[in-house]
Amino acid sequence: MLTYRRAGKLYSPAMTQTANIGASGPDTGAAPLIHPLYVRITHWINALAMLVMIGSGWQIYNASPLFAFTFPRSSLGGWLAGGLLWHFAAMWLLVVNGLIYVAIGLATGRFRRKFLPIRPREVVGDAKAALTGTLRHDDLSRYNAVQKLVYVGILLTGVVIVLSGLAIWKPVQFRPLTDLLGGYDAARYVHFFAMAAILAFLVLHIVMAILVPKSLRAMITGR
């Protein structure tokens, strides 16, 4: 075996390689994990639930429009009662799935690591970089300031849409909540605009997945 002397001690290439592995961990050749399994599962369940809720919600909206337009008649459910059935089914899936995601995210500290801190100066800088096409996406394990702000905002919007939905669904039983939102009619507007914000987020999310394909792969494989 080839050896060499350093500071009065004998070394070999095998000994040096072993020492390096011990210091940095074995090189398995696998990419680092970006999204743990629970994030991927809850992400896709949430996407399905939101699509069902939006489609059925349009059907419910068409029965009593808030504005001078309606959504396509092909909206999920076919008619008001059908839309309500789909909407309530997806609602429970969304709530349970969301609670699991939030609980694990808080318990593991992932929310704190991924979403905080949010600094206004960094948000402005990253927004300018995004608009000029110079924002880099080399490290998908770290969110830029705009992503942090958007993700926290959509989580809060999710809370708003659930609470306003409860106020519309059971305005008598949840009267304090309905009153807090300004009454039944006002709660419908809050619910509608929360839906519009989530729909805009979904469109942006899909566009970014197309522009940065490896982000979609990471949400499927975790890496």
Q: Look at residues 115, 194, 116 and name the one whose alpha carbon lies nearest to residue 151.
A: 115
Does 17 reside within a domain?
Answer: no
Range of the domain at 62: 34-221
- Residue 78 confidence (pLDDT): 75
Non-local (6+) Cβ contacts of 154 within 8 A are: 197, 198, 201
10 Å Cβ neighbour count for 180? 14
Alpha-carbon span 174 to 153, nearest angstrom: 25
Tokens representing 55 are: 């489609």
CATH of the domain at 65: 1.20.950.20
- Residue 32 confidence (pLDDT): 82
Alpha-carbon span 103 to 134, nearest angstrom: 35
pTM confidence score: 0.78
Name the β-bridge partners of 4.
11
Q: Is 6 exposed, middle or buried (0-12, 13-18, 19+ CB in 10 A)?
A: exposed
Judge contact between 114 and 148, C-beta under 8 A.
yes
Does 5 reside within a domain?
Answer: no
Number of separate domains in the chain: 1
Does 93 reside within a domain?
Answer: yes
pLDDT tens digits in sequence order for the chain, 223 residues long: 444 444 454 444 444 444 343 333 344 456 788 889 999 999 999 999 999 999 999 989 988 999 999 888 766 777 888 889 999 999 999 999 999 999 999 999 999 999 999 999 999 998 998 888 788 877 888 888 999 999 999 999 999 999 999 999 999 999 999 999 999 999 999 999 999 999 999 999 999 888 888 888 989 998 8
- Residue 158 confidence (pLDDT): 92
Tokens representing 145 are: 């300031």
